[in-house]
Every structure is written in structure tokens, then in C-alpha cells.
Chains A and B, each alone.
Chain A
Amino acid sequence: MISVSGLTKRFEMDGGASVLALSPVTHHIPEGAFVSIVGPSGCGKSTFLRLVAGLEEASDGTITLDTGATRRPVGFVFQDAVLLPWKTVRDNIRFPLDTAGAKKSEGNKRVQELIDLVGLTGFEDALPKQLSGGMRQRAAIARALADDPPILLMDEPFSAVDLLTRETLNDELLKIWKATGKTILLVTHSVEEAAYLGSDIMVMSPRPGRLKKTYSVDLPYPRTPETKALPGYHALVSDLRSDLRETE
């Protein structure tokens, strides 16, 4: 689904200096994978996602998205919500549909489903400024799902929501993934979240940012609170912890 080969990103700074944000990364992500990406701050996780999304030009190497003729192959959830402040929650969520020229009536049903899914029922007509940070983030997730992209890229989507909501959203995300077969890349600072969600895990290390290790997670789906009691889960979490500690 996503093949990157020799992917490199160098940021040119004012004055001729440059930062190597990503040193050659070669990796293949199969269709329908749920990849958790972990790594210390500044190791190029966001840069990697932005490259895959086409928001950043690669300095070197190639990215191939195997999505056929889909006009918008990726949905993206930013670190903060990035809603359009002049649009209501509903209009923000339907923005991808409206700008793709979808019929109003078709959009309405889809948007209401998404609003219910992310738990924003009753806030359809609220403006972003009237929402909490976590609610805004949930609206942003709904927006990313609105036009049903085959690939979903999420950059620390749950860092602004409380633990309980976060667990609920994790389970919802797994449900959406199972139901739709989307390929999901999710950056997180929580190794527990990475282990709980991922079918695969990418561990990155800094200076220069690179792919240090990949895991194929063999915990069974569906993942439930019981998953967190499995010995395999605990072993994985502690492996990830020590990977991250080594990179410090």
C-alpha cells in the first residue's frame, strides 16, 4: 500500500545550514496494516507522515502509494485539530465532501454517522471556539474520515483528550479499521497505545531521524481490555520502552 525507498528529508535553514530530519528510510507497509509509530521527540515522525501525505517534498528517495485513481488518497489528523474556525462542527466535518462536490443529501447522512461515532452529538452547530481541545480533535478525526480515504495518517491524534475518551476512541478507531480495511499510520508517544492498536510498529530514533526497528505484533484482534492482560502485550510494551530508552 505504501512503499518508501531511500526516503530522505533535509530541511534547509536560513544561512545555509540544514537539518537532516529523516535519513534514508526504506520500508513497505501492506494494505490494511495498522502501523503505530513511536520514537522520541524530534526523530522525524511528523516529517515522515507529512512526506507520505505529500505535504512535504522528499529530498531524496521515493514514496509510492498504491491507491489507484483515488483523488484524495490520504486523510490526515494533525497534532492539533486545525478546524476552520468560521465553520460549525458539521460544516467542518462535511468540508471534504462539499469541496469534492458531493450531494448535500448524501453528505448529511454520512456526516451524522461520523458525528455520532466520535461522540459529538448535540454539538453539530457549535463553532470550534465553543469546543474543548479534545472535542475539536474528535471533530478533526471525523473530518479525516468523511470522504473515506484508503489511507489514514494520524499525528498524535489523542494527545489532547482525557484517558477515558482516549481509550474509547482507540476502540472506535480499531472498529473503523476492521470495518473499512483502511491502512492506518498513527504516531503516538504512548508505547501502550502503540502496542494496543498496531498490527505493526515502527520505532524511530533521532539525530538523524531514522527507522530503528519494526515489530510485527502478534496479539490477536479484536483487541479488548483483556488484551492488556496478555503476557505478550506486556513483553511488547517493555521491549518498546527499552528501544526508546536506548535511543535517548
Chain B
Amino acid sequence: MKNATTTEAERAEFRASVRDYLSNASPETRVRSVIDSGTGLDESTWKGLAADLGIAGLLIAEEYGGQGMGMPEMAVALEEAARSLAVVPLLASSVLSTLAIQLSGDEEAFKKYLPGLADGSEIMAFAGLDGAGTTTLARDETFWGIYGTKTAVLNANIASRFLVVASTPDGTGLFIVDGSAGGVVVNAQDALDLTRPTALVTFEGSEGTRVGGDFTDGLKSLLSLGRIATSAELLGISERLMEISVDYAKTREQFGKPIGAFQAIKHRCSEMFAHVESMRAAVAAAALVDPEDTAALHEQALVVKAYCARFAPWIAEATIQVHGGIGYTWEHVAHLYLRRVKTDEVLFGDALACRDELQEILGLTA
């Protein structure tokens, strides 16, 4: 992955083309029908994004079939995809799994796995979070045997492979486990986010391929990039929610005037705007940090996530409030966004958790 290779104007153009594509390919009606199908994947939209727009391979070097871009460009894609609620494994496969492999530094793995990820023909899931009270272990038997349980594995039901973080006798390791390997059990969870299924994935001595060596630093960078990526999603959604709220405030009338004329509503909308602009600045700053500068990346990612995870839920809740009763209905889009927001909020640490780590960096913990 590189640092910014495009200009702001080029990114704006890119954004327009992604938005244009998604507004046709994945309108709300489409999102709802994919949700109802229970597959957890909008295949044609994914194909279009991955193959036609090249988004699955944004973070992958050209020699492996990707676009050779970095987080500034991927942030745009994440914002737009989240805004459209498209049911695609962008975060799980094209960001987390892709970055995990790249951060391992294992060139063999690059050759073997990145091309499939780059064109979207292969979908992988990142299994990083241990189930409650458990530790995933990798035992060096005749092969690396993986034992443990991972929770909140995004898009596990459609993944052909899992990137698994596990403890080895010599530290943290990254492993690739085939979905069809023995002992892999995928149990769908009752995910809050209807557009992005999660699963509890159990590995009972499943055969894993080790990727790279010690993954301690790799994991730290991956978590930082995950924070920036989820922040970009939160930004994209927040901006959309603000637009929806403002539009409604202009058209819904009570007491003989549009509700947006009432300051309680108007000021709520203005505060939404201020938070969206703040998030935009924060995401832009974080996406531009040189990923090789791990200390700066870590700190900036905590800052952006602490901010976005605090205010995006506020915006989603305020959107429902601005809409009154209709905002509380299943038919209204607000809850679909709220569900995604609450999920992104906790992935890689919510605001409180990020501030906790910041306190340590700032020397504020006794």
C-alpha cells in the first residue's frame, strides 16, 4: 500500500464515479431485496465495484493486479460504499484481509493471494477478534493447527478463506485457513447490521498456512488502518444522514411551517454539519499519514476513531429524532444506517477505548 498517489481533484472525480455507479447499482430497494434474500452479498454490485471500478484492488500493487493506491483513495471508496449501504465485503476482504496479507511482508503470499483479492474473484474474511474469554492458538504439529473461536467475523458466510490471528509459541502469527479445511465451523450471528453479516467462526485443529513471521507490529498497524477505515464508513454514513435530515426538515410541515424553521431542529442540523465537516477533516488527515510511520499512524487512527465513533452515533440518533415517528419505522432507511454505525462504532474500539489508549500515549494514566 502506498501513501497518496492521487490529487484531491482526482479523488473527487473518483468519488463521483463511485457514487454514480452505486446509486444505480445499489439503491435502497436493491439493498433491501439483498437483505431479504439472506445471502449477505449483492453479487452484481460487487462484480461492478471490484472488476469494473477496480475498487477491490485499490490497496494492492499493480504487479499483483491491483491499482497501487493507498488509504486516501480507499477512504473515498469506503465512504461511498457505506453511504449506499451496498451489501459487499469491501471492508472485510479488500481492506482488512488485503492489508493483513500485505503487512505480513510475505511475498509468497502476495503472489498467491493478492491477485484473487484484487479482482474480487476471491472473498476473504478477517478473523481477528477472539471469542469471549478465549485465545486462538496455533500449534506446530505436522502442519500449523489452529484452535479457537473468533467472533464478529464480517462476511464469514461468503469467504473462501480466513485470515486468522493466533498465538504461537513464538508470538503472534497470521495464518490463512481455507474455509473448506477440516474443523472450520461458521455459525451465523444475529448481526445488528443487516447489510453485513457476522459469524462466530470456530477452528478445531484446522490446518493453517503461516503468513510472514511475527505479526505483532503488523497487527498493530492493521488495527490502526481498521480504525481509519471504519471512520471513513462512519463519515460517509453521517454525511448521508445529515442530508436526509436536512431534506426532511425542509419539507415536513407542522404548526404551519417546515420543521427546519424551528431552531431545535435547525440547530440539530447545523451541529450535524459541524460534526460531518470535522469528521471529514479528521479522516482526510488520518488517511494521509504515511503508513510506514507506525507511531503517527497509531496515534492519528485513535484520534479519528475516537471522534467518529462518538459523533456518528449521535448523528444517527438525531436523524431518527428529526424524523419523528416515521424515523422509528422499519421502512425508513434511518435504522439501516444506525445499525451499521453501531457496528462500526465498536469495531477496533469505540470512542472510550480509543481515548483509553490515547491517555496512555499522552502520559495521563497513573
State yes or no: do A and B come from one complex: no
Binding site for A on B (CB under 8 A): none
Binding site for B on A (CB under 8 A): none
